[in-house]
Amino acid sequence: MQIAASQPLRRKPKRNRTEFWMLLPSIVVLAAISIFPFFFMIYASFMDYSLDMDRPRFAGFRNWTETLADPVFWQSWGRTLVYAGGGLIAQLALGCAVALLLYHIPRFRNLFSTLFMLPLFVAPIVTGLLWRFLLDPTYGLYHWVLNTFGLDIQVLGDPSYAMFAVILMDVWEWTPLITIIVLAGLQTVPEEPLEAADVDGANAWQKIRYILLPMVRRMIVVALLVRSMDILRYVDTIVITTEGGPADATKTIGYYLMQVAFRFQDIGAAAAVGLTMLLASILMGHFFIKVLKSEEA
């Protein structure tokens, strides 16, 4: 650090302006499309409003009381905890592990990382079809494999296994996302600390634990945040494979919302459910950021 400490202070006002103009277009675009829906959700949650009605009627807290009194609502949240919790932990662990692996591999890194990325690009809809294809009792490859090992289970038709299966699908498809983000972070880690560590005689494990991981903590949080938002919302795979069943075993809150919004077309109730999901995402976000902040020191 050879720059004098006094200069940044003098520059501050000017600095702000360039950055401000660089940020402005994004803010405008975001605000335009996201503000109205947000307020609409709040408005709709207090109205008795379904798509086939001519005008919505004021309903006070009825949507809220009905939703909060619905046991399926709470059960769906419970299942979402399992789905999201299990999924995120698995993805994170696997994703970081593979990222580190890719980082250390001497050759063919490009090839391997591109190949590993492929599940990401199989659109969730096709992923759902693919896994249905793999797990169907009549012709599924994985079903056949399980059978050969003596496990005669109907993965998608058995409440005890269906949840595990959908978590697996999510992990399979989205782990590469975590890998990409973390790997990119690893690749921006400057050489100096690593070289210094080499000089000090540190081995690979120590380098990972004390230098690499801490420096990509920020990226890990970004990956976690993005995935945690999406894992609540993405239900394409569940729709194609189990439709929330069997016996509601895979009905997460995202699926529940789809049902209320699209099948029942109850805009008011959907808004209420949507707001709870938004709240949950915000809380999770705050939590992850707090974790990030505590590392920043």
Partner 1 sequence: MQVKRATLHAVLYVLMAMSLLWALVPILHMILSSMKTQVGMFEMPPRLIFTPTFDVYGEMFLGRGDFPQFLRNSLVVSIVTTALCLLLGVMGGFGLARGNFKREKDISFWVISTRMAPIPAVILPLYLIFSKLNLIGTTAGLVLAYTTFNLPFALWMMSTFFKDVPADLEEAAMIDGCSKFRAFWRVVVPAAAPGIVATAVLCLMFAWNDYLFASIFTGRGSQTVPIAASLLVSQSGIKWGQAMATGTVIIMPMLICGLLVRKYMVRGLSMGAVK
Partner 2 sequence: MVLVMASVLVLSACSSGRNDAGSGTDSGSSANAANVNGNNSGGSGQSGNTGNAGNAGNAGNAGNADGSDPFGGWVEGLPKIEAPEGFDWKQFEGITLNVITENTPPSSGLAANIEVFEQATGIKVNIEQVNLDIVVEKAGLDFNARNNNYHIIYADPYQILSKQARHFVDLNTLNDDPALPSIPGGLEDFIQSQLLVGGYMGDKEHLYALPYDNPTMVLAYRKDVFEKYKDLFMQEKGYDWTPGPDMTWDQYYEVALWINEKAKAGVISEVKYGTGHQAKQHDSLMNDFSNVLAAYGGDYFEAENLGDIGTENPGKSLLTSPEAIEAAEFYNKLLQIAAPGSTTWDWNGLAEAFAAGEIAMAPEWHEFAGMFENPELSKVAGKVGWTILPKGPKGRGNMYGGTSIGINKYAKDDEIKAAWLFLIWATAPQTQYMILDVGFTPTRHSVYQLPYIQKAMNDPESQEAKEWPLASSLIAAQEAWKEENVYMRPKIPMWPQIDTIIYTELSKMLAGRQSPADTMKEIAKQSDRLTGN
Round to whole Å and give the CA distance between 233 and 255: 8
Strand, helix or coil at 50?
strand
Written as one letter, the residue type at 202 is A
121 touches, from partner 2, partner 1, none (C-beta below 5 to 8 Å by class): partner 1
134 touches, from partner 1, partner 2, none (C-beta below 5 to 8 Å by class): partner 1
What is the nearest approach in angstroms of partner 2 to the Cβ of residue 225? 26
Nearer to partner 1, 193 or 246 (CB): 193
Q: Which of residues 92-151 bind partner 1 (CB under 8 A)?
A: 98, 101-102, 104-106, 109-126, 129-131, 133-134, 138-139, 141, 144
C-beta contacts of 33-42 below 8 A and 24+ residues apart:
40/271, 41/271, 41/274, 41/275, 41/278, 42/271, 42/275
Site string (152-191) toward partner 1, x via CB under 8 A: --------------------x--xxx--xx-xxx-xx-xx
Q: Which of residues 213-242 bind partner 2 (CB under 8 A)?
A: 242
Round to whole Å and give the CA distance between 7 and 1: 13
Q: Which of residues 232-271 bind partner 1 (CB under 8 A)?
A: 232-233, 236, 240, 254, 257-258, 260-262, 267, 270-271
Round to whole Å and give the CA distance between 155 and 265: 31
Round to whole Å and give the CA distance between 229 and 88: 11
Q: Which of residues 26-85 bind partner 1 (CB under 8 A)?
A: 26-27, 29-30, 32-34, 36-38, 40-41, 44, 51
Round to whole Å and give the CA distance between 114 and 206: 28
What is the nearest approach in angstroms of partner 2 to the Cβ of residue 173? 21
Helix (H) or strand (E) holding 138: none
The residues with which 47 forms a beta bridge, in sequence order, are: 58
Which of these segments, 14-22, 134-142, 168-176, 227-235, binds partner 2 (CB under 8 A)? 134-142
Of 66, 31, 32, nearest to 46 by C-alpha is 66
Nearer to partner 2, 210 or 262 (CB): 262
Which member of 86, 119, 193, 246 binds partner 2 (CB under 8 A)? 246
Number of residues forming the site for partner 2 (CB under 8 A): 32
Which member of 210, 282, 287, 291 binds partner 1 (CB under 8 A)? 282
Which string of DSSP letters, residue by residue, matches 54-105?
A: SS-EE-TTHHHHHHHH-HHHHHHHHHHHHHHHHHHHHHHHHHHHHHHHHHH-
Round to whole Å and give the CA distance between 181 and 187: 10
Contact present, 131 and 165 (Cβ < 8 Å): yes
244 binds partner 2 (CB under 8 A): yes
Binding site for partner 2 (CB under 8 A): 25, 28-29, 32-33, 51-52, 135-139, 152, 154-159, 242-249, 259, 262-265
